[in-house]
Structure 1
Amino acid sequence: MTTLVVGASGATGRLLVAQLLNQGQHVKAIVRSAEKLPEAIKNESRLTVIKASILELSDAEMAEHIAGCDAVASCLGHNLTLKGIYGKPRRLVTDATRRLCNAINANTPKKPIKYVLMNTSGNRNRDLDEPISFGQKCVIALLRLLLPPHVDNEKAADYLRTNIGQNDTMVEWVAVRPDGLIDEPMVTEYEVYPSPIRSAIFDAGKVSRINVAHFMATLINNDDLWQKWKGQMPVIYSKAE
C-alpha cells in the first residue's frame, strides 16, 4: 500500500510517516522543508519526499502525486504564531481537503481511496447528537470568532461529512479527533470512542501525538478497523494508567 501524507513535517505528521513505514507501507510525504523530517526516516527506500506547499500545487500536480496511492492522510495545521493563526491561508485544512478529494476524483480510482483527516475533539460531529454544555457552547462560539484555525477544522470535517458523505464511490473518510495533545516517546495503550466522553473545554483528556499517529496508520493499514470507523469522527484518548 502507498499513502500520501500532507503536513508530513509537523509534530504529528512526521510520527505518522514513521508509523506507516513501520507498518510496511510506502509513503509519499509532501513537505515544504525536508530538513524537518527525522533523520531516522529520511533515507528510507519506501519514502518519497515531495518538496512543495500543498496549496501551491496545480490540480494536475496534485492528481499526479495521488496517482497510485491507496490512502491520503492530512496532519495539516496552523503554526501557533500570530501569522500562522491570523494570516493566510485562513482555510488551509479545508482547502487542502477539498482539493485532495477533487484530485482523487479526477484520477477515477477503481476502488475508493481512504482519506484520514486529523481534526480536534473541540469540533462536534453534527451527524450525531453530541450533547455539550451551555458553557462549552459559549466558549466554542468565542473560538470561532477569535481563532480562525478552529473554524478551519470545523469546515474541513464538514466538507467530508456533507460533500463526500457516506456513499461516495471514490473517497471514504475518517476524521480523527484527538483530545489534548502531548508528546510521548513511545506508543502506549489508547481508547477510541465515537464521541467525546468528557468536555474538550472544561475536562479535557490527553493523548500522545504518537498514539494518534499509530491509530491513523492502523486505520489505513487494517481494513477491519477502517470498516468500523469509516464515515465517522472517532475521539482518541491515551489510556489512563
Structure 2
Amino acid sequence: MKVLVLGGTGATGKQLLDQLLDRGHEVHAVVRSTTSLTDELIKNDNLSLTEASVLDLDQSKLQELVSGCDAVASCLGHNLSLRGIFGPPYRLVTEAARRVCSVVQNSKSSRPLKFVLMNTTGNRNRDLNEPVSFAQRCIVGLLRYLVPPHADNEDAAEYLRSTIGQSNDQIEWVVVRPDSLINESSVSPYSLHASPTRSAIFDAGKTSRINVANFIAALIDTDDLWQTWKGKMPVIYNSTTSSPDAPESPQS
C-alpha cells in the first residue's frame, strides 16, 4: 500500500513511519525538517520525504502527493511551546484535513481513501452523545477558548464527522483518540474503546506513542480492523487487559 503521513517528524509521526515501513508499505511523509530523522530511516528505499509545512504546499503539489495513495495518516499537532500553542497556524490540523479531503474529492478516485486522524480523548464524539461531567464541560470550554490547539483538534474531528460523514464514496475515516501521551520503547498491550472510560481531565489514562502508531498502522493494512472502526473515534489506552470492542494490540 502507498501511505502519505502528515507530521512525520513529530514524536508519534516518527513512530508511525517505523511501523508502516516495518509492514512493507511505500510511505511518503511531509516533514518540516529531516534533522530529527535517523539516517537509517532517511535511507529506507520505501520512504520518500517532502520537506515543507503542509499548509505551505500548493494545491498541485498536494494533489501529486495524494495521487495513488491508499491511505493518509495525520499526526499533525502544535508544538508544546508558547509560540506553538498560541502562535500561527492556529488551525493546522483542521486545514490540513480539509485540504487533503478536498484534493481527494476532486480526484474522483475509483476507490475510497482511508484517512486516519490522530486526535485526543479531550474531544467528544457527538455521534455517541458521550457523557461528560459539568466540571469537565467547564474546563474543556475554557480550553476551547483559551488554548487554540484544543479547538483545532475538535474542529478537525468534527469536519470528518459532519462534513465528510459516514457515506462518502471517496473518503473513509477514523479518528484515533489517545489519552495522555507517553514515550515507551516498544509496543505494549493496549485496549480500544468506542468512548472514553475515564475522565480526560480528572482521571486521565496513559497511551504510549508507539502504541498509537501501532494501532494506526494496523488500521491502515488490516481490513477487518478498519471495518470495525470506520467512521468512529476509537479511544486507545495502555492496558494489561483486552478491550471488549476490538482485539488487543494488533501488532505486526
Q: TM-score, normalised by structure 2?
A: 0.94
Distance 1:93 1:130 in 2: 23
AA in 1 matched with 2:125: N
- 1:178 is aligned to 178
Distance 1:109 1:33 in 2: 31
Distance 1:223 1:62 in 2: 26
Is 1:33 the counterpart of 2:28 in the alignment? no
Distance 1:15 1:63 in 2: 25
Is 1:188 the counterpart of 2:188 in the alignment? yes
Is 1:162 the counterpart of 2:162 in the alignment? yes
Cα deviation, residue 240, structure 1:
3.9
Cα deviation, residue 107, structure 1:
1.8
Is 1:97 the counterpart of 2:97 in the alignment? yes
Is the deviation greater in 218-227 or in 104-113? 104-113
Correspondences of 1:77-226 after superposition (within 5 Å)? 77-226=77-226
Structure 1 residues 59-79: Cα deviation after superposition (integer angstroms, max 9, x where no partner) = 111011001110000000001
Cα deviation, residue 38, structure 1:
2.7
- 2:230 is aligned to 230
Structure 2: runs of 5+ lacking an equivalent: 242-252
Distance 2:46 2:195 in 1: 35
AA in 1 matched with 2:176: V
Is 1:7 the counterpart of 2:7 in the alignment? yes
AA in 2 matched with 1:215: F
Is 1:61 the counterpart of 2:61 in the alignment? yes
Distance 2:172 2:39 in 1: 32
Distance 1:219 1:9 in 2: 20
Local SS of the residue matching 2:48:
strand
AA in 2 matched with 1:139: I
Cα deviation, residue 39, structure 1:
2.9
Q: Which runs of 4+ in 1 moved over 2 A?
A: none
Contact (CA 8 Å) 1:122, 1:200: kept in 2 or not? yes
Is 1:20 the counterpart of 2:20 in the alignment? yes
AA in 2 matched with 1:143: L
Structure 1 residues 20-60: Cα deviation after superposition (integer angstroms, max 9, x where no partner) = 01111110000111122233311110001111110011111
Distance 1:189 1:218 in 2: 14
Structure 1: runs of 5+ lacking an equivalent: none
Structure 1 residues 115-174: Cα deviation after superposition (integer angstroms, max 9, x where no partner) = 000000000000112001111101101111210000000000000001100000000000
Cα deviation, residue 103, structure 1:
1.0
Contact (CA 8 Å) 1:190, 1:211: kept in 2 or not? yes
Contact (CA 8 Å) 1:115, 1:174: kept in 2 or not? yes
Contact (CA 8 Å) 1:112, 1:172: kept in 2 or not? yes
Give identity over the alignment, percent. 56
Distance 1:192 1:40 in 2: 32
Name the Cα RMSD after superposition.
0.9
Distance 2:152 2:89 in 1: 10
Structure 1 residues 94-127: Cα deviation after superposition (integer angstroms, max 9, x where no partner) = 0000001011112211100000000000000001
Distance 1:103 1:61 in 2: 10
Contact (CA 8 Å) 1:63, 1:106: kept in 2 or not? no
Q: TM-score, normalised by structure 1?
A: 0.98
Local SS of the residue matching 1:8:
coil
Give the count of matched residue pairs. Answer: 241
